[in-house]
């Protein structure tokens, strides 16, 4: 609870800094609206700015926005013509589904491959896994996304190009779950393979370090078998830095989803952020930043709890 309370000033500073940075960018909501209309006379533009409160100074706008934010009022989206909170909630589930699936795939396979590489250190298996991780790490997510679309959608026709559901299918139950899963295969792969390389390399290094510690040699001398030694003694301690990286990378995955969601036309927070920047929808963009900050803070607290569970010697202070 103390950690959550300490996070409040952090979120407030993030919101203030983001608001001021956005205001430094050229153009605003009225400019975007007038551009979509093909132009307007100066009097009409002035009326719009007065109606939206954009005729006030930046600090007055910031003060008004922060007062609304304290009341959990994210404002009105002038692009989508509905409250920002409703726009965010309609997109949040898709982004969380993409992020969780990507992190689960990256963490599970990264930990497994890293442990296998460490068990067979400096062998051809280790070299092959390390080379594969280096290839994934060096490949940009946008290039990997386009490559997956070219192979599995255009050439083979196995997977849909984009979207979250088949348009006009109106599936329900498990059929709908399977349809969503098919649409998430390529976005999940494009977003997870880069982070899989991080976990794999870190897990390999961590396992090699733990296997050289005294308590592991003692357990081996007492007759602990290979599987028991690996899972009960080595893995539990080797996972500590990997879990730390998992919590830190949650915000990075959230940022990476902007590119992936835009390429695959996924109706999520990432695609919404891109649209909000293009359309100069300040309220929606600030709502995305606030929601993302809250999610990252909660995930970091949960990471600390998991960290303490893995190693009871650690106290949350």
Most confident of 238-242, 282-286, 295-299: 282-286
Does the structure show a pLDDT above 70 at 232? no
Burial class (CB in 10 A: 0-12, 13-18, 19+), 90: middle
Is the CB of residue 208 less than 8 Å from the CB of residue 116? no
User: What's the gap between Cα 287 and its chain centre?
Assistant: 16
Give 230's DSSP letter: I
Q: What are the structural domains, with CATH classification, of the chain?
A: 2-73 (no CATH), 90-310 (1.10.3720.10)
pLDDT one-digit tens code per residue, 139-188? 888 888 888 889 988 888 888 888 787 777 677 777 888 888 888 888 98
Q: How far apart are CA 33 and CA 132, in angstroms?
A: 48
Give 291's DSSP letter: H
Mean pLDDT of the chain: 80
Nearest-CA neighbor of 248 among 199, 317, 187, 207?
199
Residues whose CB is less than 8 angstroms from the CB of residue 182 and which lie 6 or more positions away in sequence, other chains included: 159, 160
Does the structure show a pLDDT above 60 at 257? yes
Does the structure show a pLDDT above 60 at 43? yes
- Residue recorded with tokens 């005729």: 55
Which pLDDT score is estimated for 142? 82
Share of the chain above pLDDT 70, in %: 87
């Amino acid at each position: 609870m103390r950690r959550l309370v300490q996070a409040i000033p952090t979120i407030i500073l993030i919101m203030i800094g983001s608001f001021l940075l956005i205001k430094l960018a050229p153009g605003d909501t009225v400019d975007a609206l007038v551009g979509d209309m093909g132009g307007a006379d100066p009097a009409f533009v002035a009326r719009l700015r007065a109606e939206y409160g954009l005729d006030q100074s930046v600090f007055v706008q910031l003060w008004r926005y922060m007062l609304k934010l304290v009341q959990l009022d994210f404002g009105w989206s002038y692009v989508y013509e509905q409250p920002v909170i409703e726009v965010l909630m309609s997109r949040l589930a898709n982004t969380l589904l993409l992020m969780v699936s990507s992190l689960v795939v990256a963490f599970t396979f990264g930990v497994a491959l890293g442990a296998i590489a460490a068990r067979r250190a400096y062998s051809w298996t280790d070299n092959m896994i390390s080379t594969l991780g280096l290839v994934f790490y060096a490949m940009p997510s946008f290039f990997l996304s386009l490559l997956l679309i070219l192979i599995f959608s255009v050439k083979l026709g196995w997977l849909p190009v984009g979207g979250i559901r088949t348009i006009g299918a109106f599936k329900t139950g498990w059929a709908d779950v399977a349809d969503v899963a098919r649409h998430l295969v390529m976005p999940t792969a494009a977003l997870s393979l880069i982070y899989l390389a991080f976990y794999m390399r870190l897990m390999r290094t961590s396992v090699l370090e733990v296997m050289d510690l005294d308590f592991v040699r003692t357990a081996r001398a007492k007759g602990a078998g290979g599987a028991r030694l690996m899972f009960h003694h080595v893995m539990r301690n080797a996972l500590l830095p990997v879990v730390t990286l998992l919590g830190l990378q949650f915000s990075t995955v959230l940022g990476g989803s902007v590119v992936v969601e835009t390429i695959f036309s996924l109706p999520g927070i990432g695609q919404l952020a891109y649209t909000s920047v293009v359309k100069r929808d300040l309220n929606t963009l600030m709502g995305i930043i606030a929601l993302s900050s809250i999610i990252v803070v909660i995930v970091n607290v949960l990471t600390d709890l998991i960290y303490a569970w893995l190693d009871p010697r650690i106290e949350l202070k």
